[in-house]
Amino acid sequence: MLSLPANDPARRSWLESANDAATDFPLQNLPYGAFRTEADAGARIGVAIGDRILDLRAAAQAGLLPAGVAPACQSSVLNALMALGAPAWSTLRQRLSELLGADSCPAVAMRTRVEACLVPLRAATMLLPAAVGDYTDFYASSFHATNVGAMFRPGPPLLPNYKWVPVGYHGRSSSLVVSGTPVRRPCGQILPADATVPVVGPTQNLDYELELGAFVGSGNQHGESIPLAQAAGQLFGVVLLNDWSARDIQSWEYQPLGPFLAKNFATTISPWVITLEALAPFRVPAFPRPATDPAPLPYLSDPGNAALGGLDLTLEVWLLTPRMRAAGAAPHRLSSGNFQKMYWTLAQLLTHHASNGCNLRPGDLLGSGTVSGETKDSRGCLLELTWRGAEPLTLPNGEARRFLHDGDEVILRGHAERPGARRIGLGECRGIVLPAAT
């Protein structure tokens, strides 16, 4: 087989559905996920290609994968592969690109062996891609932080620490769910307007947050740190992430220790992990800080991060209400933003997290924080879009929304597109709101 660059936009697959201009999963993407099928209920990992999944367990057992990665490819989750580190990820990606490329897998006999490992995407039930030991959520968009600060506090909207320290909190991995899992409206303590005593009941201000989730690769030993120059190589890949948030519960409980029950009832992620290697053509300079802002401290500064720490990823939120669904209407796009607007890069988040010796492990998940830009149509949550409910949205069918109603489905989508590169997609992160438990 020929060895060809996996990101070469000119390359095509012998699987025609992977060459469709609209597919999220062309030969240049090769994202990893975990799945099962009705025919085979065993959880296993695979690679999305066009409208198929290449079953990595089957491919390993068929002797199609390099010996160094084949054992990890027979796991039910991605953690073992994540733990192998960047050189092994490259080896596997290169082999997969060869096996699925029209120019590199010419022998009919070889194609037949690969075809035997393909499963239709529509026949698969997607599962959480990794066993997530720890989940941390950051707050890396200065536009989001500025808007939220302006709504919740008098005085300067950004707190004095924001431009120095990547702010985050420890989330809850037990309530992480994969796209398609319904989310029940939570109940909690809420302080009604003009009241001094809280009530307990279903949240009236249920919201989504558009985020990117980054999976940690091999991680660091307890007591050690991860230099920023090495951080990008420690990130395995990214998913779409919806940090469901109950704003009325949040505003009562968050002081002084930050988010708690307002956010830990559910967090939804998309099933396909897009690797940093697939995203290499879409790396851009880190967000240009205004000249009046402080430079990052030395441990958060690196020429490589400044030059290529950002990611040019378009991220969107779509809404489908019960009325729209009943009328057969398509989902409506609420916002569109870009990840290159984030004040802190993914590498800076990772390095900061480990800077005190906190050990990050393969499969740990880092949420970016809500992805918002400077324009109103790039605000990544309803809190910002409706300015805490004061400016309701009007949907094309005339319905209004301050926050989410029961039956509403939130759909996050994302893609990367630049001249000289093949467009790749992140798939979808969907969740429908169920009524509160009675």
Q: Which residues bind Ca ion (CB under 5 A)?
A: 137, 209, 243
Tokens of 410: 């939130």
- Supply the DSSP symbol for 320: E
Nearer to Ca ion, 255 or 394 (CB): 255
Nearest to 179, CA basis, from 438, 417, 437, 414: 414
Instruction: Give the nearest distance from C-beta 236 to Ca ion in angstroms.
Output: 21
Q: Which two tokens stand for residue 422?
A: 């093949």
Residue nearest to Ca ion (CB): 243
Q: What is the three-state SS of 371-397?
A: CCCCCHHHCCCHHHHCCCCCCCEECCC
Minimum distance, C-beta of residue 344 to Ca ion, in the bound complex (Å): 14
β-sheet bridge partners, residue 36: 125
Provide, rounded to whole angstroms, the least separation between the CB of residue 137 and Ca ion: 5
Dist. CA 335–CA 210, nearest whole Å:
10
Q: How far is the CB of 243 from Ca ion (least distance, A)?
A: 4
* Residue 146 backbone phi and psi in degrees, to 5: -65, -45
Give the nearer residue to Ca ion in terms of CB position, either 6 or 262: 262
User: Smaller CB distance to Ca ion: residue 140 or 324?
Assistant: 140
Of the pair 58, 365, the CB lying nearest Ca ion is at 365
With beta carbons less than 8 A apart as the criterion, state whether 104 and 4 touch.
Answer: yes
Q: Choose between 77 and 249: whose C-beta lies nearer to Ca ion.
A: 249
CB-wise, 134 or 209, nearer to Ca ion? 209
**Min CB(86)–Ca ion separation in Å:** 28
Say if residues 54 and 63 touch (Cβ distance below 8 Å).
no
Other beta carbons within 10 Å of 9:
16
To the query of whether residue 170 is one of the catalytic residues in this protein, the response is no
Helix (H) / strand (E) containing 229: helix 228-231
The one catalytic residue in 144, 170, 332, 353 is: 144
Q: In sequence order, which residues have a C-beta less than 8 Å from that of residue 359 and are 6 or more positions away?
A: 219, 220, 221, 222, 223, 224
Asked whether the beta carbons of 339 and 321 are under 8 A apart, the reply is no
Residue 258 CB, nearest distance to Ca ion (Å)?
Answer: 11
CA distances from 357 to 222, 226, 233, 297, 362 (A): 6, 9, 18, 17, 16
Catalytic residues: 144
